[in-house]
């Protein structure tokens, strides 16, 4: 079972932009109530999509420069990266079935070698 990778300024490039697997990045903060609602959904996505997507978390208070770089103005923001670039942004709480549908739609647009066994 996979768990989300905690992202810092030091590991962002390796874990996200250089990843050969699409990465769902959760931009969040401890004080954010909607972030606490989406956290179990993000955890479940990490576990249920092992090998299909990597899930990562960025604490915007600890690493504000990453939030600035990607234009995160509201949290939670879920950002899906594919081939090192931002390909989808989802702002606010989204129920898990809808979130999986949106992720699956994006994954289908990426090269097949990256999502060969997609069940999303």
Catalytic residue set: 32, 35
> CA–CA separation, 47 vs 25, rounded Å?
14
> CA–CA separation, 36 vs 101, rounded Å?
21
> CA–CA separation, 34 vs 118, rounded Å?
28
């Amino acid at each position: 079972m996979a768990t989300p990778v905690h992202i810092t300024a030091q590991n962002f490039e390796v874990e996200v932009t250089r990843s050969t697997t699409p990465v769902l990045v959760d931009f969040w903060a401890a004080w954010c109530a909607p972030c606490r609602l989406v956290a179990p959904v993000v955890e479940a996505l990490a576990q249920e999509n092992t090998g299909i997507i990597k899930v990562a978390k960025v604490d915007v208070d600890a690493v504000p420069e990453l939030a600035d770089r990607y234009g995160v103005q509201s949290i939670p923001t879920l950002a899906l990266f594919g081939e090192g670039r931002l390909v989808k942004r989802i702002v606010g709480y989204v129920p898990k079935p809808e979130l999986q549908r949106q992720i699956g739609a994006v994954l289908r647009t990426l090269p097949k070698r990256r999502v060969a066994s997609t069940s999303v």
